[in-house]
């Protein structure tokens, strides 16, 4: 519950901020595997499948996201999905409102991800913004 409730939501928010500030350019090619091989499903790859998503690697907030699998599917569908959505909405809206000039302070190509194969999280997200004068 701690990993699901903290690690995933934290990674989701930093990944979302990074995507908002840049454009992902990862390529996922076809892979062959044999019967009996163990396969770790990569939801990010599923969401880049051109058979189902147009330009799936590009952040497009107008895209119909009804088919996405980010919270799983079926009987084990994530019980924390509504909480994660609220946390993400509050975090992203607060960031955009409080730091209007927010931008990456390094080229997007310099941003790296952790080596954890289960959770896609950023190693760091350096940003810069203009200091705001206090109101009043
Ligand atoms: C952006 C954040 C999150 C993502 C991407 C995410 C993703 C997922 C996915 C893909 C599954 C399905 C795993 C499977 O099929 O075996 C899952 C299950 C689960 N998630 Fe999340 N999750 C997030 C946030 C949370 C939060 C905030 C909580 C709790 C507060 C939580 C608790 C759980 C639990 C307990 C399950 C297991 C459900 C079951 O097996 O019936 N998750 N999550």
Measured in degrees and rounded to the nearest 5, phi and psi for residue 95 equal -60, -50
The per-residue pLDDT for 112 is 92
CATH homologous superfamily of 2-128:
Cytochrome P450 (1.10.630.10)
pTM reported for the whole predicted model: 0.74
Tokens of 97: 């409102």
What are the average pLDDT values for consecutive 10-residue runs of the chain, which has 136 residues? 78 82 55 81 77 82 80 91 94 89 92 84 91 70
Q: Which residues line ligand 1 (CB under 6 A)?
A: 1, 4-5, 8-9, 12, 70-72, 76, 78-80, 83-84
The per-residue pLDDT for 30 is 64
Tokens 């190693």 appear where?
123
């Amino acid at each position: 519950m701690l990993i699901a409730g903290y690690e995933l939501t934290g990674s989701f928010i930093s990944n979302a901020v990074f995507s908002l500030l840049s454009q992902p350019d990862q390529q996922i090619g076809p892979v062959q595997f044999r019967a009996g091989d163990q396969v770790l499903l990569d939801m990010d790859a599923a969401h880049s499948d051109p058979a189902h998503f147009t330009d799936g690697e590009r952040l497009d907030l107008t895209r119909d996201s009804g088919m996405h699998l980010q919270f799983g599917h079926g009987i084990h569908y994530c019980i924390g999905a509504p909480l994660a959505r609220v946390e993400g909405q509050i975090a992203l809206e607060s960031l955009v409102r409080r730091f209007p000039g927010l931008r990456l302070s390094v080229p997007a190509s310099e941003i790296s991800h952790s080596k954890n194969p289960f959770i896609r999280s950023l190693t760091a997200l350096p940003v810069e913004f203009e200091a705001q004068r206090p109101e009043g």
